[in-house]
DNA sequence: ATCAACGTGCGACAATCTGCCACATTCATG
DNA sequence: CATGAATGTGGCAGATTGTCGCACGTTGAT
């Protein structure tokens, strides 16, 4: 369908390729036009030919932080809605982001529904409002652990340290739930 | 020195009496005129005779949250600088506070210098440093709970249901202090 | 080969935490 | 005022976690 002129343009800036791909597909399926950038620099290039109406930005990437994009995006489109989405969330960066004009701020992991819910907060679309249940604490923890574990190349000791959790406990958690996905 | 007409008026709203007293003295010593309220309600009364230029608000108090004071304070003095100061800091309340117009947000414990520094900071800087470690599981859980709690307007029972967690357990978790963010 | 440093898997036990049930209040509403 | 919904506590048995300790593998340097 070429509703090009009508479809809202959605920019995803994240260096986690898997994450970007999954999110991009989920968002396209809902009728948005999407663009994905793997770094702030790459995003800046894209902005010369792509003016987004919505955007999700990661903070921790190679090169510049997504936060630096906020002023550029606002300058290009004052009505843009920006969601900061990061696995390295902190109160201080959240405060900065909002002050700079971000619409909202979420810590990863977050599912697509939550992401869109935050971005649509002001949109006249009272249709798909209250269907979402938050992730259970259990699943949230699981995804977080997997992510950090991957970042440490499967090193359990290092992961436990990074997570401020005891190695023994991590071990037990990993035993109980062999890697499986569901929904 | 009676620079009454020149001295900036500083309002402290916190139910921790000791904390308020110490902070009040430290701030007076630096030439501000101070007023202390132990609750949001009490603060509202004071506003009839005291128009602050600066304020620190606590979030978790008996009665209304300090966050509810933000609009009132802004209405009374659009140039007021408001710092949220709480022992139960979370990203979701920080985001909400900043959106409502708070100047900044700090987690207790914080010393007088930090407090005044935040209140006097002028411009946000996009070059704020990003944490090098991801959040601990404990911290992530706290943030998630706070987010859901905020989405349910502070309703504990509803939050517990949404989280698939026993209400009693949620209550106990909420009473504890959040895990400190480290670096 | 040997030593040192590190990561891993697992047993055991105490300290905590959770899921549940009960009960007294408080609060908004019909 | 009756009623349903929330909330703050207390108590308990059972599940989970924090710690220690120990036995192996690996890897690198001596």
| Assigned token pair, B99 | 């959106």
With a cut of 80, say whether residue B151 has pLDDT above it. Answer: yes
Kindly tell me the sign of the dihedral angle through the C-alpha atoms of B42, B44, B47, B49. negative
Helix (H, G, I), strand (E, B) or coil at A12: strand
Report the candidate in A88, A83, A34, A36 with the shortest Cα–Cα distance to residue A59: A88
Instruction: Report d(CA A65, CA A71) in Å as an integer.
Output: 12
Q: Which of B148, B179, B181 sits opposite A90 (nearest CB)?
A: B181
Mean pLDDT of B36-55: 93
CB–CB of A59 and B130 under 8 A?
A: yes
Tell me the average pLDDT of chain B.
90
CA distance B47 to chain A (A): 26
Protein chain B, residues 131-170, with a C-beta closer than 7 Å to any atom of nucleic acid strand C: 165-166, 168-169
Query: Where does the pLDDT of residue A111 fall: very low under 50, low under 70, confident under 90, or very high at 90 and above?
Result: confident
Using a 7 Å cut-off to protein CB atoms, list the covered nucleotides of chain D.
5-11, 17-21
Percent of chain A whose predicted confidence (pLDDT) is above 70: 86
Mean pLDDT of A112-135: 64
**Does residue A90 reach within 7 angstroms of strand C, measured from its CB?**
no
The integer distance in angstroms from the CA atom of A8 to the C1' atom of D9 is 52
What is the tens place of the pLDDT at every residue in A34-75?
999 999 999 999 999 999 999 999 999 999 999 999 999 999
Any CB–CB contact under 8 A between A26 and chain B?
no
Question: What pLDDT, on a 0 to 100 scale, did the predictor assign at position B182?
Answer: 55
With a cut of 80, say whether residue B12 has pLDDT above it. Answer: yes
Contacts of B95 in chain A (CB under 8 A): 94, 98, 104-105
Mean pLDDT of A136-141: 88
Any CB–CB contact under 8 A between A62 and chain B?
no
Instruction: Report d(CA A100, CA A57) in Å as an integer.
Output: 13
- What does pTM read for this prediction? 0.88
Mean pLDDT of A170-177: 87
Question: What Cα–Cα distance (Å) separates residue A48 from each residue in A52, A54, A61, B158?
Answer: 11, 16, 21, 46
What is the tens place of the pLDDT at every residue in B65-99?
999 999 999 999 999 999 999 999 999 999 999 99
Mean pLDDT of A154-158: 93
The integer distance in angstroms from the CA atom of A149 to the C1' atom of C14 is 29
Span of A157-161, A179-183, B16-20, B81-85 with lowest mean pLDDT: A179-183
Span of A88-92, A117-121, B38-42, B101-105 with lowest mean pLDDT: A117-121
With a cut of 90, say whether residue A124 has pLDDT above it. Answer: no
Instruction: Report d(CA A146, CA B85) in Å as an integer.
Output: 34
CA distance B61 to chain A (A): 21
CB–CB of A144 and B140 under 8 A?
A: yes
CB–CB of B151 and A134 under 8 A?
A: yes
Mutation target vs B (from A73, A84, A98, A117; most B CBs, 10 A cutoff): A98
Instruction: Report d(CA A35, CA A46) in Å as an integer.
Output: 8
With a cut of 60, say whether residue A120 has pLDDT above it. Answer: yes
Contacts of A98 in chain B (CB under 8 A): 94-95, 98-99
Tell me the average pLDDT of chain A.
86
Q: Which residue of B has its CA nearest to A146?
A: B137
With a cut of 90, say whether residue A83 has pLDDT above it. Answer: yes
The domain spans of chain A are: 9-120, 137-175
The integer distance in angstroms from the CA atom of B174 to the C1' atom of D1 is 35
Topology given in CATH for the domain delimited by A137-175: Arc Repressor Mutant, subunit A (1.10.10)
Question: What Cα–Cα distance (Å) separates residue B154 from each residue in A138, B95, B148?
Answer: 21, 15, 9
Query: Where does the pLDDT of residue B134 fall: very low under 50, low under 70, confident under 90, or very high at 90 and above?
Result: confident
Mean pLDDT of A90-107: 94
| Assigned token pair, A57 | 């930005």
**Residue at token pair 């501000």:** B32
With a cut of 70, say whether residue B148 has pLDDT above it. Answer: yes
Query: Where does the pLDDT of residue A135 fall: very low under 50, low under 70, confident under 90, or very high at 90 and above?
Result: confident
With a cut of 50, say whether residue A129 has pLDDT above it. Answer: no
With a cut of 80, say whether residue A23 has pLDDT above it. Answer: yes
What is the tens place of the pLDDT at every residue in B16-34?
899 999 999 999 999 999 9
CATH of domain B9-120: 3.40.50.2300
Q: Which residue of A has its CA nearest to B148?
A: A134
Query: Where does the pLDDT of residue B47 fall: very low under 50, low under 70, confident under 90, or very high at 90 and above?
Result: very high
Q: Which of A67, A91, A98 sits opposite B89 (nearest CB)?
A: A91
Question: What pLDDT, on a 0 to 100 scale, did the predictor assign at position B1?
Answer: 52
| Assigned token pair, B147 | 């987010």
Determine which helix (DSSP H) or strand (DSSP E) holds B34, and give its type and residue range. Answer: strand B33-37
What is the tens place of the pLDDT at every residue in B99-131?
999 999 999 889 999 999 999 887 777 677 788
Q: Are A149 and B122 in contact (CB under 8 A)?
A: no
| Assigned token pair, A17 | 């390729």
Question: What pLDDT, on a 0 to 100 scale, did the predictor assign at position B63?
Answer: 84
Percent of chain B whose predicted confidence (pLDDT) is above 70: 95
With a cut of 50, say whether residue B180 has pLDDT above it. Answer: yes
């Amino acid at each position: 369908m070429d509703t090009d002129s009508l479809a809202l343009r959605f920019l995803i800036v994240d260096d986690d390729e898997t994450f970007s791909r999954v999110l991009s597909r989920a968002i396209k399926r809902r009728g948005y036009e999407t663009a994905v950038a793997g770094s702030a620099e790459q995003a800046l290039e894209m902005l010369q030919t792509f003016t987004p109406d919505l955007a999700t930005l990661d903070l921790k990437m190679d090169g510049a932080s997504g936060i630096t994009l906020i002023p550029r995006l606002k300058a290009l489109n004052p009505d843009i809605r920006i969601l900061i989405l990061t696995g390295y969330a902190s109160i201080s960066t959240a405060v900065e982001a909002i002050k700079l004009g971000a619409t909202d701020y979420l810590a990863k992991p977050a599912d697509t529904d939550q992401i869109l819910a935050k971005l649509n907060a002001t949109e006249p679309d009272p249709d798909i409002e209250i269907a979402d249940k938050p992730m259970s604490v259990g699943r949230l923890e699981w995804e977080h652990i997997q992510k950090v574990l991957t970042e440490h190349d499967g090193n359990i000791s290092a992961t436990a340290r990074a997570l401020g959790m005891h190695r023994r406990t991590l071990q037990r958690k990993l035993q109980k739930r062999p890697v499986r996905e569901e929904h």
